[in-house]
Amino acid sequence: MEKLINDFTKFYGAAPTVAARAPGRLEILGNHTDYNQGFVLSCAVEQDTRFALRPVEGKHCRVKDFRDGSVREFDLDDIDKAIPRDWANYVKGVIVELRKRGIEVGAFDAGMESSVPLSAGMSSSAAFETAAGFAMREAFGIELSNADWARVGQGVENHYMGLKSGLLDQFSSIFGKKDSMILTDFRSVEVLRTVPLPAGYSIVVINSMVKHNLVDSEYNVRRQDCEAAAEKLAQIYPDVKTLRDVSLEQLAAAKSALTEREYRRALHVVGECTRVIEAVRMLEHNDVKGFGRLWFDSHESSRVNFENSTGELDYLVELAKSVPGGLGARLSGGGFGGITIHLVATDGAEEYAKRVQAGFKARTGIDAEYIICAIGDGATSRKL
Q: What is the pLDDT of residue 120?
A: 66
3-state secondary structure of 25: strand
The answer to whether 169 is a known catalytic residue is yes
**Got the DSSP string for 43-79?**
EEEEEEEEEEEEE-SSSEEEEEETTT--EEEEETTS-
Q: What is the pLDDT of residue 119?
A: 66
Rounded Cα–Cα distance for residues 23 and 254 (Å) = 41
User: Given 109, 169, 225, 297, which residue is catalytic?
Assistant: 169
Phi, psi of 221 (to 5 degrees): -65, -40
pLDDT tens-digit readout, 2-28: 999 999 999 999 999 999 999 999 999
pLDDT tens, residue order, the chain (384 aa): 999 999 999 999 999 999 999 999 999 999 999 999 999 999 999 999 999 999 999 999 999 999 999 999 999 999 999 999 899 999 999 999 999 999 999 999 999 999 987 766 788 899 999 999 999 999 999 999 999 999 999 999 999 998 888 888 999 999 999 999 999 999 999 999 999 999 999 999 999 998 766 555 688 899 999 999 999 999 999 999 999 999 999 999 999 999 999 999 999 999 999 999 999 999 999 999 999 999 999 999 999 999 999 999 999 999 999 999 999 999 998 888 889 999 999 999 999 999 999 999 999 999 999 999 989 999 999 999
Rounded Cα–Cα distance for residues 290 and 306 (Å) = 23
pTM: 0.89
Rounded Cα–Cα distance for residues 291 and 288 (Å) = 5
